[in-house]
Amino acid sequence: MSVHSSHNVQAKDCCEDASSRTITAIRTLSLKDYLCPESRPQFLSEMRDSLMEIGTFYIKDHGVPTEVTDGAMKAIQDYFALPLEEKSKMHIRNSQHFRGYKLMGEEMTNNQIDHREQLQFAPEQTVESSFVPTTSRHWEGLHGPNQWPLDILALVPEFKSSVLQFMDQLEILSQHLMEAVALSLNLEATYFRELFGSSPYYRLKCAKYPSVEKADTIGCGAHKDTGFLTVLLQDMVGGLQGQDPVTGQWLDTCPVPETFIVTMGEAIEKLTGGLYHATVHRVLNNTSGQNRYSIPFFFDPSLSSKIPHRIPALASLRRSVSSTSSMSMSMSMPMSTSASSLTSLSDEESCSEDELDHMMDALKIHHGKDDALSSQDVEGWSNGDHIFETVQRCHPEVFSRWYGREL
């Protein structure tokens, strides 16, 4: 038994005024609106509102071809329908790179056993790296091939190509979304691309939630995802819920055809000083009489990246806007040199003064007046270590087999 890598949550943590708002539904945004210069400001404004309110939205017109999403769903349904003996040929414990299958009951979230089977993939690297467990950094062991047992490929011929195509497409979509997240924060479009490096690290988790007779289990316990961005495909069964961080109310993230659900993880929450929420979410037990399938894609920087504790430009923005407004000057953009990168955004991309004020007010709620960056903030943390820590917590059996001292 192991613990789901995402962080468990005991209770909502909030310090905003709950009386002044209600979120009734999770918004739907269109990637087409982002890609069109005329509608981009409206898209960015709605994205910002969604991420400041709850941290989740649906994305439609996302550009991932229907045959690719259908193909991935069908491939994983066919895989999960195989006899246990076949599925176990790609058990996660076979893989030094933490890829493969986990049986029902092998994972828990928030102190409860999750009622699901799952199958994990990550970027395909056909050649084994020269990783040596005793001398290399642990995270270097995350690079490598996925498992593709020939017996399974014989039974599900489209399995490998469907999964690889889906991951390629979701990487493209995620790059667009991270670019939009940067612009919504009044940062350069390339901010995250530079931070992420040339080979972002992602994980694809395919999950099957079998239907249960009695509603006395949970599909997946309440948690926040630990990384940057999650893009999730779900079938039409339902059961996923996100929590309003202010009121604690659970909102159904109902299935909407031809959309993905986009959720921020804890890394974005930390980087933005709490301005954008990492959504607490859970999956209710499935009593629909049919299996539920979902495929979350966790998109993170390359393992060798160093991530600042907070986005330095956001702190500068806050300082410079505070000082301009306190001096009652009417300038459309801050003038400090540390925020100079902000001034090169085009009109469609930069925030209005109202929007900046709104962001600053929210930042003050989370962090008070102390916005000075420590040297640790700037130096940053190792993304590889962070990801390794979460996958190790999630799959201790893989760690002790491949990374223990006694090899």
Ligand X SMILES: O=C(O)CCC(=O)C(=O)O
Our CB check for Fe ion shows the closer of 111 and 328 to be 111
Closest residue by beta carbon to ligand X: 294
Q: Report how far residue 94's alpha carbon sits from residue 62's, in angstroms, rounded to the nearest whole number.
A: 35
Q: Kindly list the residues in this chain that would bind Fe ion in the complex (CB under 5 A).
A: 225
Can you name the residues that pair with 203 across neighbouring β-strands?
A: 298
Our CB check for Fe ion shows the closer of 8 and 28 to be 8
CB of 98 to Fe ion, least distance (A): 17
Strand, helix or coil at 340?
Answer: helix
Pairing of strands 117-121, 56-60: unpaired
> How many helices, marked H, and strands, marked E, lie in the chain?
13, 18
Options 23, 173, 177, 283; binder of ligand X; rule CB under 6 A: 283
Q: Report how far residue 200's alpha carbon sits from residue 305's, in angstroms, rounded to the nearest whole number.
A: 9
Is residue 6 a contact point for ligand X (CB under 6 A)? yes
Options 281, 310, 318, 386; binder of ligand X; rule CB under 6 A: 281
Judged by CB under 6 A, which stretch of 48-56, 83-91, 148-156, 232-240 contacts ligand X?
A: 232-240
Residue 234 binds which entry of Fe ion, ligand X, none, with Cβ cut-offs from 5 to 8 Å by kind? Answer: ligand X
Q: 7-17 in b/e burial notation, b at 16+ Cβ within 10 A?
A: bbbeeeeeeee
Our CB check for ligand X shows the closer of 283 and 333 to be 283
**One-letter amino acid for residue 223 of the chain:** H
Q: Report how far residue 75's alpha carbon sits from residue 294's, in angstroms, rounded to the nearest whole number.
A: 12
Binders of ligand X in range 74-113 (CB under 6 A): none
Query: What residue spans of 8-39 are helical by DSSP H?
Result: 31-35
Is residue 69 a contact point for ligand X (CB under 6 A)? no
Our CB check for ligand X shows the closer of 268 and 339 to be 268
CB of 215 to ligand X, least distance (A): 17
145, HSE (Cβ side, Cα atoms, 13 Å): 9
Residue 240 binds which entry of Fe ion, ligand X, none, with Cβ cut-offs from 5 to 8 Å by kind? Answer: ligand X
Options 100, 245, 273, 296; binder of ligand X; rule CB under 6 A: 296
Q: Report how far residue 223's alpha carbon sits from residue 278's, in angstroms, rounded to the nearest whole number.
A: 9
Is residue 294 a contact point for ligand X (CB under 6 A)? yes
Strand, helix or coil at 175?
Answer: helix
Our CB check for ligand X shows the closer of 211 and 341 to be 211
Asked if residue 302 lies in contact with residue 200, where contact means CB atoms within 8 angstroms, the answer is yes
Asked if residue 294 lies in contact with residue 261, where contact means CB atoms within 8 angstroms, the answer is no
Is residue 207 a contact point for ligand X (CB under 6 A)? yes
Options 48, 205, 318, 319; binder of ligand X; rule CB under 6 A: 205
Our CB check for Fe ion shows the closer of 40 and 115 to be 115
Asked if residue 262 lies in contact with residue 184, where contact means CB atoms within 8 angstroms, the answer is no
Query: What residue spans of 84-220 are helical by DSSP H?
Result: 84-87, 150-155, 159-184, 191-196
CB of 185 to Fe ion, least distance (A): 23
Burial class (CB in 10 A: 0-12, 13-18, 19+), 328: exposed
Inter-axis angle of helices 159-184 and 66-80, nearest 10: 130
Our CB check for Fe ion shows the closer of 162 and 230 to be 230
Closest residue by beta carbon to Fe ion: 225
Number of residues that bind ligand X (CB under 6 A): 12
Our CB check for ligand X shows the closer of 225 and 266 to be 225
Asked if residue 196 lies in contact with residue 305, where contact means CB atoms within 8 angstroms, the answer is yes
CB of 294 to ligand X, least distance (A): 3
CB of 390 to Fe ion, least distance (A): 12
Residue whose pair of structure tokens reads 């468990």 in the numeric block: 8
Is residue 187 a contact point for ligand X (CB under 6 A)? no
Q: What angle do CA 33, 180, 307 make, to 5 degrees?
A: 170
CB of 230 to Fe ion, least distance (A): 6
Our CB check for ligand X shows the closer of 280 and 313 to be 280
Residue 319 binds which entry of Fe ion, ligand X, none, with Cβ cut-offs from 5 to 8 Å by kind? Answer: none
Options 220, 251, 307, 313; binder of ligand X; rule CB under 6 A: 220
Our CB check for Fe ion shows the closer of 106 and 225 to be 225
Residue 285 binds which entry of Fe ion, ligand X, none, with Cβ cut-offs from 5 to 8 Å by kind? Answer: none
Q: Which residues bind ligand X (CB under 6 A)?
A: 6, 205, 207, 220, 225, 232, 234, 240, 281, 283, 294, 296
